[in-house]
Chain A
Amino acid sequence: MSAAPPLLTIENLCFDFDGQSEKTVNALELSVKKGEIVCILGASGCGKTTVLNLIAGLLKPKSGSINLQTESGKRNSIGYIFQSDALFPWRTVEGNLKLAFDINGKLDRSKAKETMQLYLSMFHLNPHVLSKYPTQLSGGMRQRVSIIQSLMFDPELLLLDEPFSALDYYTKLSLEEEFCNLVKEKNKSAILVTHDIEEAVSMGTRAFIMSGGKLAKEFHIRKKSEADITRGSEEFAKHYREIWSELKTIISG
């Protein structure tokens, strides 16, 4: 049986901001399979977010190709979760979650409530939250709602730009866990940009270190079918040490 084609294939991707002599993204190659969580680590300003913006279509590549092989072939197969949420403050949580239906007329509006309830319970949010405004929610709740907002579009690939970095430690841990469960249950794929090696090891199937505009080093953390690696276990520490050692070398130049 032949292996399923990757969901995302990036080939020879190049990008530079106008006026910059050095390329921010330089001949970058990456493929992401269905059900994978790929983490990208690297020093600040190395171009991690630029890669996500290129995949999301927010920036135009100078050369190279980004090929998203979705099952549905729909235009919004990508969900982007930013470091700070993009919830509309003038809409209630319910209104924010229904944004997908306002934008995509093809989505079945009658299923909105059911889908919302499903994701709310998946992310341990009380349904009462639907009538609240974003300003009435804590940082963790806002980020949960923000993830659900992206999921309402039913994307196949989720892009996460340090979405948990501004949260307190315990909220961060539970959100990481909830997100991994979601990826498994719904067979989604994700690319997570993070500075946090622990986060990469606990969430990722693979991790990359980005340097010089490329994904300079790849780490295989687990197969998507394998169980989670317990924090504090020897295996966890081994991956942590490997990544940190490589990262330290790259950062110190």
Chain B
Amino acid sequence: METSSTTKLSFGQRLLYPLPLIVFVLVWHLATHDNKERQFIFSSPLLVAEAMERLAKSGELFTNCQVTIMEAVAGFALGTTVGAIIGLALWYSRVVAEISKPYITALATVPIFALAPIIISWFGIDIRSKIALAFLTTVSVAIVQSYQGAMSVEKRFLRLMQVAGATRWQTFKLVVVPSSIIWVLNAMKLNIGLALMGAFIGEFISSEEGLGHMIVKASGLYDQATVFAGVIALIIIALILTFVIEQIESMLMRWKTV
């Protein structure tokens, strides 16, 4: 029986990967290539490619990508680590976990847009405020996922540890943490996008560099091609970071695939 959540594709099926993208670009091109008005609103694949080439040559694209990646990765690492530690540690006390619930829910439900001006006024418009926003968007997901993981440890493992005379710390270290890894990895996957969003929102509201800044500036000038170039860069960054997480996952979860 196939137990993996992803289906293994044959070589022929894998060739289908770019098909939706090709269709999308083709439709976009056909709808805009000979219509200046539409190009002004929707830009066009060729204009976007030209904008990307221009931005890459000037170094603007890479500099902005670098800043956004740095903010997102730092916020992601901080948020996921702190969240995972808190979430797993809540396993120690059901009372503390219960009391923490409304606070975690509050943190998870407050729109980051609402917090962004406060955070920027606290940390300034430099990289620190973007890291803080990326941290805030990711920490609650990591807490919830890790806590769920810690509470979902199979009873038979806990019974074994109890009969073996293991201390609570030994049970935590030898059973709770390793069996929650899959949940932490899921949090990491979700948090990649959220960290980018946090960093982007920070740049969007107030910044001097980064992809968010580049997109806001370009949209102010009705330069849709640059806006699309920024969006594409964001997508590529998200895909690369997700790929990295997937590699970490396959390394840590090797036992699932043997």
Contacts and interface: CB of A to CB of B under 8 A. Distances in A.
A89 B255 CA distance: 7
Interface in A113-164: 132-133, 135-136, 153
Contacts of A102: 170, 174
Given A82-B159, A135-B258, A136-B258, A88 B164 contact: no
B165 A58 contact: no
B255 A57 contact: no
A86 B159 contact: yes
The main secondary structure of chain A at its interface with chain B is loop
A79 interface: yes
B174 A76 contact: no
A92 B157 CA distance: 15
A100 interface: yes
Contacts of B159: 56, 58, 80, 82, 86
A25 B157 CA distance: 25
Contacts of A89: 255-256
B37 to A, nearest CB: 59
A76 B166 CA distance: 9
A84 interface: yes
B179 A90 contact: yes
The main secondary structure of chain B at its interface with chain A is helix
A57 B178 contact: no
B57 interface: no
Nearest to A77: B165
Nearest to B175: A88
Given A58-B159, A86-B157, A104 B165 contact: yes
Given A57-B163, A84-B156, A153-B164, A90 B178 contact: yes
Interface residues of A, number: 27
A155 B178 CA distance: 26
A4 interface: no
Name, among A56, A99, A153, the residue most crowded by chain B CB atoms within 10 Å (CB to CB).
Answer: A99
B151 interface: no
A78 interface: yes
Contacts of B178: 88, 90-91
Nearest to B155: A86
A133 B163 contact: no
B46 interface: no
A76 B175 contact: no
B115 interface: no
Contacts of B165: 75-76, 103-104
Interface in A53-78: 56-58, 75-76, 78
A217 B211 CA distance: 79
22 contacts: A56-B159, A56-B163, A57-B162, A58-B159, A58-B162, A76-B163, A76-B164, A76-B165, A80-B159, A80-B163, A86-B160, A88-B178, A89-B255, A90-B178, A90-B181, A90-B253, A99-B174, A103-B165, A133-B258, A135-B255, A135-B256, A136-B258
| Smallest CB-CB A-B distances: 4 pairs | A76-B165, A86-B160, A75-B165, A86-B156
